[in-house]
Amino acid sequence: KRFSVTVPAAQQLGGEYTRGGIVTESRQPKRLSFRPLSDFLALPGELAEADESKMAPAAVAFEEEFLTVMGSPAANVCYGRSGLLHLAFRALDAYRAAHGGALPPPADDAAAEELLGLARGINDTAPADAKVKQLDDPSRSGVVRLLSRGACAVLSPMAAIFGGVVGQEVIKAATGKFHPIVQGFYLDALECAPESLPPGEVSAEALHAAGRYAAQAAVFGRSFVGKLRELNVFLVGSGALGCEFLKGFAMLGVACGDGGKLAVTDDDIIEKSNLSRQFLFRNHNVGQSKSLSAVQAVTRMNPELHARALQDRVAPETEGVFDAPFWRSLDVVVNALDNVKARLYVDGRCVLFTKPLLESGTLGAKCNTQVVLPHRTENYGASRDPPEKQAPQCAVHNFPHNIDQCLVLAHSEFVGNFDTAPREVSDFLAKGPEWVAELRAAGENDESILDKLRGDVRVTCGAPGGCIDVLVAERATTFAQCVGWARRRF
């Protein structure tokens, strides 16, 4: 992009401008205001549409009635899935009010029709720009019926998604740096739910027999829960994504039956920087195997989980470990990797042995998912991702294997040694006892403050670090001492 920069007048600069200088971007604040919840419920206004393919038939077909409101807030409210869900949840509140706080029972057709009737009543009295269109179309009324069937269930994957969204909104509110969701946001995955279930699948006896998985049985049926429990799953990677997958498997009961198996492999070890996003790990796990620590953590969540931790990289060199009988025994493979080469290898093995693959990845705030079904969908290797612009931090600090990752590692080491550590030492010398008080006020715990002073022995392998390194153990006052310090660092 081209930018135009206006240089201040000479008198402001204190002399004529010649060249160079530093330009600092000044972001202007944006003030937002939100309506009370009661106003939003009656008239939602602008709603973000999570999936435009789920809009009303008139919107998908760009019919004349939709084109008259396209581009306005009424488009999503009247024809969008978000507007339909807004109406359905208002009807659900009305149902609870009429039934003493009780939610509709699963697979209860009478309750579903009652909920749909309440939705129609609310919609009839709504103003024109908040009235949901085509409510009686089977694709629209079916959404309300599905909500009735699963309203009493709390599913771990959906809870994780909404928990992440809420967490982001809290961070936005606390920092004021990012734009929040305006008023309301609706998300559904109703395409996962079966259209109908035999009564025996969701009977009171079936839900009681499902035990801790009763919520899943209420939505998907008892047989589906049984299938999950008997799956043989291979999870490749147990970092940030791997932790999420493992937690989800444990909560859903995957591989928790007598015949179920879960193999988890990761050749990486836990670093302190991992703790901010890989939530299965704690301070005492630093330096330990990721796969072993992750399996131990999720087994505490669900002791029924039949998980086995491995520390082997999935690659041609380990085909003696992950041999043909191993691949043939699998029901599904889940990737949680941080490099394209490993993804392509696992994808190739899944194609060879015709195994379903769930491919996914994250990089900063970006993410991707791909479901690969043998002979039905495109496999991961059929199309190539653009080159990575950022290097995964786990690979950078443990296995830098290309020039870009080596440069990133070098930059990280340089900043740590010549910027972060000196600044912390200068702060410590300038403020004295107040330095600790300021860090505590900023939310630092005593352990992290001690790490700044003495270095984290789990990271430095017992060598000096932090302020002690700079001021005592490795204090350099001559050029020769500086060279010695650099050599020892190297």
DSSP 427-468: HHHHHTHHHHHHHHHTT--HHHHHHHHH--HHHHTTS--HHH
The per-residue pLDDT for range 307-324, each reduced to its tens digit, is: 999 999 999 999 999 999
Task: Give the Å distances, CA to CA, from 268 to 9, 232, 244, 347, 479.
Answer: 56, 23, 17, 21, 38
Secondary structure string (H, E, C) spanning 60-95 = HCCCHHHHCCCCCHHHHHHHCHHHHHHHHHHHHHHH
* Residues written for the chain: 490
Q: What is the average pLDDT across 412-437?
A: 80
Say which residue the tokens 């994504």 belong to.
Answer: 241
Which value, in Å, is the radius of gyration of the alpha carbons in the chain?
Answer: 28
Least confident range from 127-141, 229-243, 469-483: namely 469-483
What are the structure tokens assigned to 202, written together? 């969701």
Give catalytic status of residue 461 as yes or no: no
**What are the start-end ranges of the H helices in 193-339?**
204-210, 214-220, 222-229, 240-252, 290-301, 324-329
pLDDT higher than threshold 70 for residue 114: yes
The per-residue pLDDT for range 183-235, each reduced to its tens digit, is: 889 999 999 988 888 888 888 899 999 999 999 999 999 999 999 999 999 99
**Contact between residue 221 and residue 214 where contact means Cβ atoms under 8 Å apart:** no
Helix axes 240-252, 290-301, angle to 10 degrees: 30
Share of the chain above pLDDT 90, in %: 50
pLDDT higher than threshold 50 for residue 33: yes
pLDDT for position 86: 95
Q: Which residue has the higher pLDDT, 175 or 24?
A: 175
What are the structure tokens assigned to 149, written together? 């069937």
Instruction: Tell me the range of 70-74, 411-415, 459-463 where mean pLDDT is highest.
Output: 70-74
pLDDT higher than threshold 90 for residue 489: no
391 vs 400: CA distance, rounded Å: 9
| Angle at 315 (CA atoms; ends 272, 229), nearest 5 degrees | 75
pLDDT for position 461: 46
**Contact between residue 327 and residue 309 where contact means Cβ atoms under 8 Å apart:** no
pLDDT higher than threshold 60 for residue 26: yes
Amino acid (1-letter code) at residue 444: E
Give the rounded distance of the alpha carbon of 75 from its chain centre: 29
**Contact between residue 186 and residue 82 where contact means Cβ atoms under 8 Å apart:** yes
Cα first-last separation, the chain: 40
pLDDT for position 464: 55
| Mean pLDDT over the full length of the chain | 86
Amino acid (1-letter code) at residue 12: Q
pLDDT for position 468: 72
Say which residue the tokens 């017992």 belong to.
Answer: 462
Q: Which of 240, 248, 281 is nearest to 366 (CA)?
A: 240
pLDDT higher than threshold 70 for residue 11: no
Share of the chain above pLDDT 70, in %: 91
Beta-strand relationship, 261-265 and 307-310: parallel
186 vs 86: CA distance, rounded Å: 8
Q: Which residue has the higher pLDDT, 9 or 412?
A: 412
pLDDT for position 29: 84
Of 78, 243, 350, 394, which is the active-site residue? 394
Amino acid (1-letter code) at residue 437: A
Q: What is the average pLDDT across 442-446?
A: 74
407 vs 424: CA distance, rounded Å: 24
Q: At 366, give phi and psi (nearest 5°).
A: -95, 155
What are the structure tokens assigned to 136, written together? 């009686």
Task: Give every CB contact of residue 141 below 8 A, 6+ residues apart in sequence.
Answer: 116, 135
Helix axes 433-441, 446-454, angle to 10 degrees: 140
The sheet that has 357-363: what strands, in order across it? 307-310, 261-265, 232-236, 332-335, 357-363, 366-372
* Confidence tier at 78 by pLDDT (50, 70, 90): very high
263 vs 239: CA distance, rounded Å: 15
| Angle at 374 (CA atoms; ends 371, 380), nearest 5 degrees | 50
> Which residues pair with residue 261 across a beta bridge?
232
SS3 370: strand
